[in-house]
């Protein structure tokens, strides 16, 4: 068999070109998403590096669910704010995962004192499904939110273990808060395992429905919502909730552009 003449243009060089890094058709799309796309292949399998990355992400997500919250370290980050500790009726992590209902109510042994005076806002920190998110982001988010809501009467920060969002309802009622804000570790994924969410409820009391809450989600430092952005959004929602005396589906997150822009300060609407 004779060698191919290099000048013969009848044979396409596409196979060589397709393997060149600058011809990777997925590279532009990867810049727009953290999703696993265009992973390539090694023979009839996914490349080993991608398999190991997937396994590492899965292990990180499992760790986020099962790693216990380091409450003393969190309290140090929150100092010098007044703090209270409570626990849900779920006695351990296994029970918490199998019985979601127990994570929504306070332990029968809870000795949370009933407040003698009302307050505008109470912040509740719940470990949720990612204690990692709470450990990393709860304290800076609390500090940013308190700065944005400095003119309001804010109650003590309550740290709730083995807790879900609805645990803020009995806590808010006992502390006589007009608004409860629950910071919770969101269910971890294979891209982000430390995402934090904030749930606002006007008039917290046992029996509130999820439709009566407003959610600010995806607070993290991997391209998610910034601490300052979360604080601006929450500040607007709190003011609107107090003005309209409601929260949830009837309170739309329709912030004016001036509020969401960099350095913007929320303003109480006049109409």
The percentage of residues in the chain with a pLDDT greater than 70, rounded to a whole number, is 85
Domain extent for 135: 66-260
Reported as a single tens digit per residue, the pLDDT across 163-212 is 999 999 999 999 999 999 999 999 999 999 999 999 999 999 999 999 99
Rounded (10°) CA dihedral 249, 250, 255, 256? 140
| Number of domains present in the structure of the chain | 1
Say if 220 falls within a structural domain: yes
Say if 135 falls within a structural domain: yes
Q: What is the pLDDT of residue 31?
A: 82
Say if 179 falls within a structural domain: yes
Q: What is the pLDDT of residue 30?
A: 82
- What is the CATH number for 78? 3.40.50.11240
Reported as a single tens digit per residue, the pLDDT across 131-160 is 999 999 999 999 999 999 999 999 999 999
Is the model's pLDDT at 216 over the cut of 90? yes
Biggest distance spanned by C-alpha atoms of the chain: 97
> Is 135 in contact with 127 (CB distance < 8 Å)?
no
Q: What is the pLDDT of residue 270?
A: 43
Reported as a single tens digit per residue, the pLDDT across 11-60 is 444 444 444 454 578 888 888 888 888 888 888 899 999 999 999 999 99
Say if 193 falls within a structural domain: yes
- Strands ordered across the beta sheet of 196-202: 83-87, 157-161, 119-126, 177-185, 196-202, 213-219
């Amino acid at each position: 068999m004779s060698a191919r003449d290099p000048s013969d243009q009848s044979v396409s060089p596409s196979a060589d070109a397709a393997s060149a890094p600058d011809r990777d058709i997925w590279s532009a799309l990867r810049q727009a998403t953290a999703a696993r796309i265009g992973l390539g292949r090694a023979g009839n399998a996914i490349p080993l590096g991608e398999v190991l990355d997937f396994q590492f992400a899965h292990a990180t997500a499992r760790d986020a669910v099962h790693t216990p919250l380091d409450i003393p370290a969190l309290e140090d980050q929150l100092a010098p704010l007044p703090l209270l500790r409570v626990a849900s009726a779920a006695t351990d992590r296994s029970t918490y995962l199998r019985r979601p209902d127990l994570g929504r109510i306070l332990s029968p042994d809870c000795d949370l004192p009933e407040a003698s005076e009302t307050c505008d806002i109470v912040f509740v920190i719940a470990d949720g499904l990612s204690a990692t998110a709470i450990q990393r982001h709860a304290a800076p988010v609390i500090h940013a939110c308190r700065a944005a809501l400095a003119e309001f009467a804010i109650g003590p920060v309550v740290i709730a273990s083995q807790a879900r969002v609805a645990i803020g309802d009995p806590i808010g009622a006992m502390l006589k808060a007009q608004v409860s804000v629950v910071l919770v570790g969101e269910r971890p994924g294979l891209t982000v395992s430390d995402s934090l969410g904030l749930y606002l409820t006007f008039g917290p009391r046992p029996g509130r429905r999820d439709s009566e809450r407003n959610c600010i989600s995806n607070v993290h430092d991997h391209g998610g919502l910034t601490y300052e952005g979360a604080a601006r959004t929450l500040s607007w929602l709190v003011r609107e909730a107090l003005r309209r005396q409601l929260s949830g589906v009837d309170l739309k997150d329709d912030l004016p552009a001036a509020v969401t822009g960099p350095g913007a300060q929320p303003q109480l609407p006049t109409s």
